[in-house]
Structure 1
Amino acid sequence: MSEIVYEFEDILEQIQHTLATEDKQQFREIFFENHTYDQAQIYLSLTLEERKLAYQFLTPEEMAMVFELLEEDVEDVEKYLSEMDEAYVSRMLAEMYSDNAVDVLKQVGEENVRTYLRLMPHKTATELRQLLNYDDDTAGAMMTTEFIYVHESDTLKTAMSTVKRFAEDAETIYYVYVTDDENHLTGILTLKDLIVKPDEKLVKDI
């Protein structure tokens, strides 16, 4: 265990040296030699001034990978976001999985949330706004927009049209979430159901 700690401290020292000398190329080489989890730990170990340089050395897309892990462990996420340019934060959040981005936004003041969403691509901002408005016990809180869901009163024909419309961005099309009027999860539909059952049949009757 002590060897692992020593190794991390050695890596952190190297990273801090590259920041002190403003050596972007060396910083990136050392930083990306490490696993994403270790990158997050390195980030958390930096001082404010060091982090500000790191934002210049890393793209928002690269920082998004760090924040995918960071949001689960860090309470004061808003403090870190406030250190970044608003456009940088917006691009970073847009690159994250939607449920993780929402977890981050829930820790941020409403005014900042509006700013970040306004700077995002319209489609991404719309998805995040939708998820932010769900209560914790709704299907939306349990799912991400990488999954497809249909209403229980839809016909199978309508449900299949929904699957086709969102298939390209979905994590899977083999299982579709079913919700009621209050957006509570009521069941799961399989792609096989949509294919073999009559088009006019209602989802809730499957």
Structure 2
Amino acid sequence: MANSDFLRQNSNQHIIKNSKSRKMDKDIIVATNNTIDVLRLKYPNLEFSWKKTLRVADIIAMLSRQYPEYANIFGKPLESSFISPDGGFLFAMNKQGQRRLILVSEVKRQGTNDAREKEGLKKQALGNAIERLGKNLIGIRAIFKNEGVLPFVCFGHGYDFIPGSSILDRVLTMNEFFPLNKIFVEKNYLPFEPVTMLFRYEEWTVEEMEKYLLLIAEKAIQYRFNG
């Protein structure tokens, strides 16, 4: 194969992947906005706010207040370092000014071998989208370390997540070996802290994501403000 053909095929592949990734990013934001609209109607006594990113320095400062015995042990990150999950961070605040994080969400697509096979191309090695997920998940678990809930959800889809794929075992490991496609919000299995990992071949629709986002956010609200 000529170098120009090789570059063209890889360039086209990245254009397709980037286009799909942009659509997924948009869909999770739409689903999150719809969820906020529903929550505002159902919980008029709460004020909801959303942030796309949290600085790592701010997370460490929060942990230092919660665990002062470790304040001088935590590392000092760059001021520019941050965590930015695809669906951002959703907060709720009651009339007493108590502000709580009630939802964090990600969406990951991994695997294009089904499309490549249709185009007569060779299969590629399995991708690494979930490796990036793992980095964020470590930070998010730390954010909720002093809490009784962990309202995090990841929607994964793509060829790499078909039944029998070894990649699913990587996701299972990230979930501390607790099952996928099951809702985990309250920390009922300490010292393990499983989260909601929803993985399948088919792409998730906005409506499907909204249903799960609302379910998880409401469980967190009930625990944090009514528990």
Class of the TM-score when normalised by the shorter of the 2 chains: under 0.3
Q: TM-score under structure 2 normalisation?
A: 0.25
- Using the size of structure 1 for normalisation, the TM-score is 0.27
Higher RCO (CA-CA < 8 Å; seq separation 6+) = 2
Q: Which has the higher strand share?
A: 2
Which structure: greater helix fraction? 1
Larger Rg: 1
